[in-house]
C-alpha cells in the first residue's frame, strides 16, 4: 500500500481539514456542555459521520484521478512512432526538437570559422542560379534584370535549433532554424525598363527560416558525401530594403514594387522545398539531384456555381488561373466566360509535378475587379481521377467568410514511367564518378 508523502498537496489539505474538525469538536463540546447526554451523542455521531464521509469522498476522487492518469500513461506507452506523428501536428514535432543554446553553440562557432569560404562559394552559386530565375519572374515594364554582384557579408547566420530529419538509403538530412541579418548592400541588380535604366541595391536583409540541408549521395570516402542540397522548409520570412541608384525610378511609378515582387517570387521558387540549390563537394555528375518533373497533374475545369457579382453593370467575366509553380511558362489560364454567374468551361490542363509529396495546386477564379483563390492541398492516388468542389474565398488568409463561388474540378495524377528508380540512377552516377576518379 502506498502512503502519501507529507509534502503532497492532497495530504496537506487532509491535515488542514482534520485540524479544523478537531477545533470544531472542541467548540461544540464547550457549547453543548449543558445539553442532555443523548443530544450531545447525536451531534457527535453526526459530525463524525460527515468527517468520515468527506474523507472517503476525497480519497475516492484521488484514486479515480490516479487510475485515469495511469490509463492515459499506458496508452501513450503503447503508441508507436507513426501514431505519435498522426497525433502531433508538424509544428509541434518541430518545436519538440532540441533547441537549447548549448546544443548548437559549437555549430555556430564552426560556422563562423568556415563562413568566409562558404560566403564566396555560396555567393557565386546564388548569383548563377538567381539570374535565370529573375528572368522568368520579371513583370510589367521590367525588360531585363541582371545580377551584377552578390555577397552575404562577414556575419554568418545564427543557428537556434537543429533537428535530425532522418537517413535514407543514400542520403542524410537535417533541419536547422536560422536567423540572419545584414545591414550593408549585399545584392546589386541592373534593371532595364521601357524607360530609364538603373541599378537596384538590396540591403538590410533579414531572414528567419528553417533550412533543409541534405547530404547526398553518401560515399565511402571523405567527406562521405558528394553534394549538399540547400533549401527552405516553407516560405521564409524575408525582409529587405531596395535602394535605387544610377537612375530615376520616379519616372516609372510602381517600378520598385515590381522589383520587390520579382525578387520575392524568384527566391520562393528557387529556395523553397522541393526546389533546392545543389552545391557539389566532390567532382562528378550530380544532374540527377536537380529538380525535375516526375509526373503530370491532369486538371479538368468543369464549371463554377454561385459566383458573386462584383460588377456594377452586368455580370462577372470569369476566368481561372491554375499553377503548381508560379513560373510564367507553367501557369495555365482558361478562357474568359463573359457576363455569367454560372460559367461552364469543360477545359483540360496538364501541369507538371516535381514532388507530389510537398507541392500543391493553386486555383484562382478571377474577374476584372476582383480575385478569389483557394488552395487544394492533399494526396491523390495515381491513375485515379478525383472530383472536388472548391470554395473560392477572397483571400486564403481570411477564415469564416462566405465563399464567393464554388468551382468544380476533376483531378488526375499521372506519374511518369521511368525505367530506373531514383536510387538506381544515383548509384549509377556515383559509380561512374568513382571510375572517373580512379582513372585520374
pLDDT digits (tens, 9 = 90+) for 422-440: 444 343 333 333 333 333 3
Range of the domain at 409: 295-415
**Is residue 248 very low, low, confident or very high in pLDDT (cuts 50, 70, 90)?**
low
Is residue 124 domain-shared with residue 251, that is, in the same domain? yes
CA-to-CA distance for 425 and 289, rounded, in angstroms? 10
**Angle, vertex CA 260, rays to CA 179 and CA 273, nearest 5:** 50
89 assigned to some structural domain? no
CA-to-CA distance for 152 and 205, rounded, in angstroms? 9
**b or e along 239-264 (b: 16 or more beta carbons within 10 Å of the residue's beta carbon)?**
ebebebeebebeebeebbebbeebbe
Is residue 161 domain-shared with residue 144, that is, in the same domain? yes
Is residue 190 domain-shared with residue 275, that is, in the same domain? yes
Please report, for the chain, how many H helices and E strands are present, in that order.
7, 16
Last residue in a domain, options 289, 322, 354: 289
Is 170 a residue whose pLDDT tops 50?
yes
**Which grid cell sits at 322?**
491554375
CA-to-CA distance for 100 and 96, rounded, in angstroms? 11
436 assigned to some structural domain? no
CA-to-CA distance for 260 and 5, rounded, in angstroms? 65
Phi, psi of 420 (to 5 degrees): -125, 145
Is residue 110 domain-shared with residue 258, that is, in the same domain? yes
Is residue 251 domain-shared with residue 120, that is, in the same domain? yes
377 assigned to some structural domain? yes
Is residue 263 domain-shared with residue 130, that is, in the same domain? yes
Is residue 150 domain-shared with residue 71, that is, in the same domain? no
Is residue 163 domain-shared with residue 239, that is, in the same domain? yes
Q: Can you give the CATH number for the domain in which 406 is found?
A: 2.60.40.150
Is residue 282 domain-shared with residue 303, that is, in the same domain? no
**Which grid cell sits at 173?**
538530412
Q: How much is the pLDDT for 394?
A: 66
Is residue 368 domain-shared with residue 260, that is, in the same domain? no
Domain count, the chain: 3
When mean pLDDT is compared over 1-15, 363-377, 390-404, the highest value belongs to: 390-404
Q: What is the dihedral of CA 432, 433, 435, 436, to 10 degrees?
A: 120
Q: What is the pLDDT of residues 335-391, one digit of tens each?
A: 988 888 888 999 999 999 988 888 888 888 887 655 444 444 444 556 567 778 887
Mean pLDDT to the nearest integer, 41-65? 76
Q: How much is the pLDDT for 349?
A: 94
**Angle, vertex CA 275, rays to CA 158 and CA 387, nearest 5:** 125
Phi, psi of 8 (to 5 degrees): -75, 155
Q: How much is the pLDDT for 6?
A: 42
Is residue 280 domain-shared with residue 345, that is, in the same domain? no
Last residue in a domain, options 264, 289, 314: 289
Which of 13-27, 39-53, 124-138 shows the lowest mean pLDDT across its residues? 13-27
Is 182 a residue whose pLDDT tops 90?
no
When mean pLDDT is compared over 155-169, 175-189, 223-237, 311-325, the highest value belongs to: 223-237
Q: Name the helix (H) or strand (E) containing 17.
A: helix 9-31
Q: How much is the pLDDT for 439?
A: 35
Is residue 208 domain-shared with residue 299, that is, in the same domain? no
The candidate with the shortest Cα–Cα distance to 175, out of 224, 232, 225, is 232
**Which grid cell sits at 56?**
472517503
58 assigned to some structural domain? yes
303 assigned to some structural domain? yes
Last residue in a domain, options 250, 268, 289: 289
What value does the mean pLDDT of the chain take? Answer: 74
Is 10 a residue whose pLDDT tops 60?
no
Amino acid at each position: 500500500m502506498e502512503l502519501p508523502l507529507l509534502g503532497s498537496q492532497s495530504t496537506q489539505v487532509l491535515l488542514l481539514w482534520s485540524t479544523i474538525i478537531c477545533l470544531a469538536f472542541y467548540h461544540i463540546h464547550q457549547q453543548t456542555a449543558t445539553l442532555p447526554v443523548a443530544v450531545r451523542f447525536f451531534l457527535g455521531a453526526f459530525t463524525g459521520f460527515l468527517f468520515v464521509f468527506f474523507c472517503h469522498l476525497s480519497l475516492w476522487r484521488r484514486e479515480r484521478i490516479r487510475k485515469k492518469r495511469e490509463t492515459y500513461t499506458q496508452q501513450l506507452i503503447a503508441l508507436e512512432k507513426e501514431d505519435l506523428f498522426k497525433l502531433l501536428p508538424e509544428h509541434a514535432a518541430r518545436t519538440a526538437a532540441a533547441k537549447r543554446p548549448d546544443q548548437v553553440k559549437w555549430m555556430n562557432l564552426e560556422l563562423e570559422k568556415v563562413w568566409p569560404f562558404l560566403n564566396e562559394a555560396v555567393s557565386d552559386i546564388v548569383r548563377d542560379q538567381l539570374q535565370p530565375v529573375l528572368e522568368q519572374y520579371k513583370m510589367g515594364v521590367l525588360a531585363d534584370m541582371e545580377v551584377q554582384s552578390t555577397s552575404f557579408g562577414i556575419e554568418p547566420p545564427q543557428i537556434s535549433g537543429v533537428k535530425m530529419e532522418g537517413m535514407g538509403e543514400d542520403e542524410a538530412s537535417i533541419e536547422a532554424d536560422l536567423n540572419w541579418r545584414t545591414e550593408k548592400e549585399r545584392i546589386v541588380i541592373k534593371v532595364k525598363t521601357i524607360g530609364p535604366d538603373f541599378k537596384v541595391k538590396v540591403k538590410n536583409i533579414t531572414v528567419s527560416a528553417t533550412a533543409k540541408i541534405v547530404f547526398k549521395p553518401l560515399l565511402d570516402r571523405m567527406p562521405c558525401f558528394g553534394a549538399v542540397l540547400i533549401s527552405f522548409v516553407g516560405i521564409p520570412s524575408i525582409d529587405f530594403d531596395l535602394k535605387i541608384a544610377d537612375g530615376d525610378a520616379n519616372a516609372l511609378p510602381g517600378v520598385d514594387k515590381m522589383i520587390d515582387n520579382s525578387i520575392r517570387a524568384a527566391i520562393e521558387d528557387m529556395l523553397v522545398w522541393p526546389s533546392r540549390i545543389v552545391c557539389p563537394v566532390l567532382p562528378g555528375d550530380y544532374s540527377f539531384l536537380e529538380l525535375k518533373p516526375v509526373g503530370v497533374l491532369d486538371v479538368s475545369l468543369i464549371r463554377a456555381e454561385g459566383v458573386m457579382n462584383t460588377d456594377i453593370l452586368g455580370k462577372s467575366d470569369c476566368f481561372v488561373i491554375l499553377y503548381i509553380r508560379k513560373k510564367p511558362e507553367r501557369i495555365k489560364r482558361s478562357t474568359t466566360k463573359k457576363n455569367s454567374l454560372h460559367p461552364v468551361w469543360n477545359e483540360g490542363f496538364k501541369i507538371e509535378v516535381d514532388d507530389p509529396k510537398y507541392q500543391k495546386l493553386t486555383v484562382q477564379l478571377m474577374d476584372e475587379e476582383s480575385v478569389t483563390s483557394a488552395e487544394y492541398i492533399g494526396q491523390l492516388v495515381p491513375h485515379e481521377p478525383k472530383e472536388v468542389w472548391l470554395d473560392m474565398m477572397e483571400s486564403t488568409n481570411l477564415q469564416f467568410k462566405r465563399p464567393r463561388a464554388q468551382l468544380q474540378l476533376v483531378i488526375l495524377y499521372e506519374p511518369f514511367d521511368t525505367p530506373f528508380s531514383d536510387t538506381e540512377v544515383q548509384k549509377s552516377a556515383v559509380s561512374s564518378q568513382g571510375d572517373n576518379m580512379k582513372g585520374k
